[in-house]
Amino acid sequence: MKDRAFVPTMGALHAGHLSLIELAKSYSDEVIVSIFVNPLQFENKEDLAKYPRDLDADKKLAMSVGATQIWAPTVDEIYPDEPSIISAGKLGSKYEGVNRAGHFDGVLTVVDRLFKHVQPTHAIFGEKDFQQLFLIKQWVQENKIPVEIISAPLIRDKDGLALSSRNIRLGDQGRKSAIVISQALLAARESRDPQSAMLEVLASEPSFTLDYAIVIDEESFEEASASTLNSRALIAGWVNGVRLLDNMQMSVVA
């Protein structure tokens, strides 16, 4: 089978998405980018309605960095009938899943549908949504799906804010407040007690509302312990009604 690289997106493309497309080019001359806002992964209908959409701009951006095909299916194309929901298991109800019931079930369900349509040999996902990336890798491995999942590094703006399609909704003041997230992660990485360091920095910004701040073992996604070799800090919270995610490696042992 000829190599075919796939970058699934929900549109509102930014430099982070473009880095995924550029990485995909190193795996295949054929790079397919999907643009589909998946209703199954939104537990809040208002959030779904507010999700930014600009298909023409997205197509131009994706093609400008090497996408060879843009696929923007309708909901009926992806879900022509009532979908059989794929369970994300226990991990799907932790961290992101606590306040977003069914979110990861929706993610796995749509990825399954997208893979069946595109039939890629490689699929590129960013590390920004680290729990999502972990669950997709786990699902692919457990079900022996013939797709290699490629992890792409998280991309930050000059001020340290992790790139996200939601950032446009922050406003100038909200953006200044949101920088506390990356500051907290940097403080954690430099501390012997990363959990406490994160919480202390986050508490210094009154406009930030915390969902969770946790240090996990990258291999198991369990809470990190003193013996964890590869750990990563995860933060989620709200600024000006916008929910933001970020993460950073704390320690890596080869």
Predicted confidence band of residue 254 (pLDDT cuts 50, 70, 90): very low
Structural tokens at position 214: 């946790």
Beta bridge partners, 242, equal: 239
Predicted confidence band of residue 221 (pLDDT cuts 50, 70, 90): very high
Q: Is the dihedral of CA 220, 226, 229, 233 positive or negative?
A: positive
| Mean pLDDT across 232-247 | 96
244 close to 237: Cβ distance less than 8 angstroms? yes
- CATH classification of 5-152, choosing from 3.40.50.300, 3.40.50.620, 2.30.30.60, 3.90.226.10? 3.40.50.620
Beta bridge partners, 70, equal: 33
Q: 10-42, pLDDT tens digit by residue?
A: 999 999 999 999 999 999 999 999 999 999 998
Predicted confidence band of residue 50 (pLDDT cuts 50, 70, 90): confident
Fold classification of 165-251 (topology level): Pantoate--beta-alanine Ligase; Chain: A,domain 2 (3.30.1300)
Q: What is the average pLDDT value for the chain, to the nearest integer?
A: 94
Structural tokens at position 210: 């915390």
Q: Is the dihedral of CA 114, 68, 129, 167 positive or negative?
A: negative
Percent of the chain surpassing pLDDT 90: 88
Query: Dihedrals φ, ψ of 134, to 5°?
Result: -60, -45
Position 85 scores a pLDDT of 96
Position 107 scores a pLDDT of 97
Catalytic residue from among 14, 17, 117, 122 = 17
Q: 142-159, pLDDT tens digit by residue?
A: 999 999 999 999 999 999
17 is catalytic: yes
Q: 70-86, pLDDT tens digit by residue?
A: 999 999 999 999 999 99
| Mean pLDDT across 37-56 | 85
Position 253 scores a pLDDT of 53
Domain boundaries, the chain: 5-152, 165-251
Nearest partner of 252 among 233, 221, 219, 229, judged by Cα: 229
Examine the pLDDT at 5 and tell me if it is beyond 70: yes
SS3 annotation, the chain: CCCCEEEEECCCCCHHHHHHHHHHCCCCCCEEEEECCCHHHCCCHHHHHHCCCCHHHHHHHHHHCCCCEEECCCHHHHCCCCCCCCCCCHHHHCCHHHHCCCHHHHHHHHHHHHHHHHCCCEEEEECCCHHHHHHHHHHHHHCCCCCEEEEECCCECCCCCECCHHHHHCHHHHHHHHHHHHHHHHHHHCCCCHHHHHHHHHHCCCCEEEEEEEEEECCCCCECCCCCCCEEEEEEEEECCEEEEEEEEEECCC
Position 49 scores a pLDDT of 82
